[in-house]
Amino acid sequence: MTWLPTLIKACYFVAALLFILGLKRMSSPRTARGGIVWAGYGMLVAVLATFFLPDMHHLPLLAAAVLIGVTAAWWSGKRVAMTAMPQMVALYNGMGGGAAAAIGAVELIGYVRTLGLLHPAGVPDTSPLQPESWAVNAASRIPQGLALLSPVELSLGVLGALIGAVSFSGSVIAFAKLQGWLDKRFVFPGQRGVNLLLLAGAVVVGLLLASGHTSLPLIVGFFALALLFGLMMTLPIGGADMPVVISLYNAFTGLAVAFEGFVLGNEAMIIAGMVVGAAGTLLTQLMAKAMNRSIGNVLFGSFGASGGEAKAIEGAQKPVDASDAAVMMAYAERVVIVPGYGLAVAQAQHKVWEFAQLLIKRGVKVKFAIHPVAGRMPGHMNVLLAEAGVPYDLIADMDDINPEFAATDVALVIGANDVVNPMAKTDPASPIYGMPILDVINAKQVIVIKRGKGTGFAGIENALFYADNTRMLYGDGQAAVGELVNEVKAVDG
C-alpha cells in the first residue's frame, strides 16, 4: 500500500488547486457560481482522503462528528434570511477558529503526554540552546507520535491556537451583536489597559508553552486568557464596525489554519489558510478604507467619544407626506434611490424594486446608488438588491453616481444616514470627517425615509436632514415605501 500516501498527497494537491481556482472564479460575477462548486469539490476530495490517512483511529467517532457538524450547519445555513448573512459568516468563521484552536490544544496536550513518556523523571531538557537534541528528536519521529514537535512547529502551533481562540470568541460576540442579542456596547474605564494585560498574559504563557515549559494547567490558562481576550476585545466595538471586525477575524482564522497546517504537515491547510489570510487582510483594509477608519481605530478607538465639539446644526427638519413625495418622484425625470442598512432591516428591498418599476413605467430614469459600505458588508446591499431582482445596469457605485446628483431631480434616501452626511466633508470636528460619501445633497430634491428624528446608528447629527432641499418622510422603511407605491398607483388613476 505504498501508493496510498501518495494518492492522499495528490488529493490534497488537487484540493488546494481547486480552492485557488474556485476563489479565482468567484472574483468575477459571471463565473462566481461555478467557483464555489469547484471549491466545494476540493473540500470533498480533501475530507474523503483524510479518512484513509495511515494511523487514523476512532474512525466511527470521526465520521459521526463530521456528519453531525455538516448536518447542523447545512440546515442552519439553508434556513437563515439573506439579511442575516453577515452574522452567519461570523458564526461559521468563529467555528473555524475554534477548530484551529482545538487542533492546537490536542497537539499541546499530546506534547505534554509525550514529554512524560520520554522523560518519566520529570523535568525535561528542553533548552533551546541545544538544537542537536531537537534534530535527533525530529529524526527519530515515529508514526505513533512518540516524538516531540520541533521548536518551530511548537511555536507556530501555539501562535495558531492563540489566533484561532481569539477569532473564535470574538466571532461569537460579533454574531451575537449583529443578531441583536447584545445591543449595548460594553465599555468601562481602563478597558484598553485590561485588554492589553489579557493579551500580554496570553502571549507570555504562549511563549512559555512554545519554549517547551508545558503543563496541563498552563495550557488551560493559555486558552482561557486567549478566549477572554477575544471576548473583551470585541465587546466594546459598535455594531456599525462589525463587518470590518468579522473580515479581520476571517483573516485571523485563515492564518491560524495555515499555522496548524504547518504543525500537522498538511500542505492543503497551509495553502488554503494562507490564501484566506492574505485575501482577508486585504478585504479588511478595503472595508476600513471605505469607512475612512484605520483598523487600529476600529479595534481600539472609542467611536464618537471625542466628537463633542461638532457643530450644532441650525434649522429644522421639514416633513413631507407620502402622497406629496410620490407626486414629486412620479413627475421627475431622474430619480436616484440610495438604500442603506435601514432598508435591509425593514426587508424593504422587494417593495423598493416594485416602486422603482412603477416609476420606470412612467418614463422616469431610476438608478440605485450604493455606497461601498452600505448594508453590513461591502457588497451586501448589492446582494440584497439582486435578491429582489434589481438588474445590474441600474445599480451604480459611488464614484460613478456622485457627478450625476447635480442633474438628479429627486434623491430618495431609504435607511441610510452616515453615508449621505455632508458633514463628512464640511465639519472637521465630526467623527466621520473625511469619510467618502454619496453627494445626495447636490440633488434638486432629497426625500429621506427615516424612522424618527433621532441621530443615526453612530449617534452623529446629519446636516442633510436639515438642508433646504430635504424633506423627511417618517416611518418604517417597508411601510413608507408601500405607501409610496400606492400613491404612485393613485397618480396614474
Partner 1 sequence: MIDGFLALYIFMLAAFTGYEIIARVPVILHTPLMSGSNFVHGIVLVGAMIALGHAQTPFEMTIGFIGVLLGAGNAAGGYVVTERMLEMFKSSKPDAGKGAK
- Residues taking part in catalysis: 418
Binding flag, residue 61, partner 1 (CB under 8 A): yes
Binding flag, residue 152, partner 1 (CB under 8 A): yes
Give the nearest distance from C-beta 138 to partner 1 in angstroms.
8
- x/- contact string, 285-324, with partner 1 (CB under 8 A)? -xx-------------------------------------
DSSP for 316-354, written as a single string: ---B--HHHHHHHHHT-SEEEEEE-HHHHHTT-HHHHHH
Binding-site member from 83, 89, 440, 443 for partner 1 (CB under 8 A) = 89
Binding flag, residue 275, partner 1 (CB under 8 A): yes
DSSP strands (E only) in 11-77: none
Q: Total number of residues binding partner 1 (CB under 8 A)?
A: 123
Q: Supply 13's cell numbers.
A: 494537491
Contacts of 41 (CB under 8 A, 6+ apart): 18
Among 266, 219, 248, smallest CA distance to 105 is for 219
Among 384, 321, 390, smallest CA distance to 355 is for 390
What whole-number distance in Å separates Cα of residue 338 and Cα of residue 343? Answer: 10
Stretch that binds partner 1, among 75-83, 194-202, 306-314, 483-491 (CB under 8 A): 75-83
Among 375, 359, 379, 376, smallest CA distance to 367 is for 359
Closer to partner 1 at the Cβ: 81 or 196?
Answer: 81
Give the nearest distance from C-beta 468 to partner 1 in angstroms.
32
**Contact status, residue 109 vs residue 102, Cβ threshold 8 Å:** no
Question: Where in 319-358 is the site for partner 1 (CB under 8 A)?
Answer: 350, 357
What whole-number distance in Å separates Cα of residue 32 and Cα of residue 39? Answer: 11
Closer to partner 1 at the Cβ: 21 or 313?
Answer: 21
Give the nearest distance from C-beta 122 to partner 1 in angstroms.
19
Question: Where in 403-442 is the site for partner 1 (CB under 8 A)?
Answer: none
Closer to partner 1 at the Cβ: 254 or 475?
Answer: 254
Binding-site member from 218, 278, 327, 396 for partner 1 (CB under 8 A) = 278
Closer to partner 1 at the Cβ: 227 or 395?
Answer: 395
**Contact status, residue 94 vs residue 234, Cβ threshold 8 Å:** no
Identify the residue whose cell numbers are 465639539. Answer: 309
Burial 158-194 (b: 16+ CB within 10 A, else e): bbbbbbbbbbbbbbbbbbbbbeeebeeeeeeeebeee
- x/- contact string, 220-259, with partner 1 (CB under 8 A)? --------------------------xx--x--xx-xxx-
Question: Where in 24-43 is the site for partner 1 (CB under 8 A)?
Answer: 24, 26-29, 32-33, 35-37, 39-40, 43
DSSP for 265-327, written as a single string: T-HHHHHHHHHHHHHHHHHHHHHHHHTT--HHHHHH--TTTTGGGPPPPPS---B--HHHHHH
Closer to partner 1 at the Cβ: 89 or 473?
Answer: 89
Q: Supply 27's cell numbers.
A: 472574483
Binding-site member from 266, 408, 445, 470 for partner 1 (CB under 8 A) = 266
Question: Where in 101-140 is the site for partner 1 (CB under 8 A)?
Answer: 101-103, 105-107, 109-110, 113
**Contact status, residue 256 vs residue 167, Cβ threshold 8 Å:** yes
Binding flag, residue 83, partner 1 (CB under 8 A): no
Give the nearest distance from C-beta 82 to partner 1 in angstroms.
7
What whole-number distance in Å separates Cα of residue 329 and Cα of residue 475? Answer: 18
Closer to partner 1 at the Cβ: 214 or 382?
Answer: 382
Binding flag, residue 276, partner 1 (CB under 8 A): yes
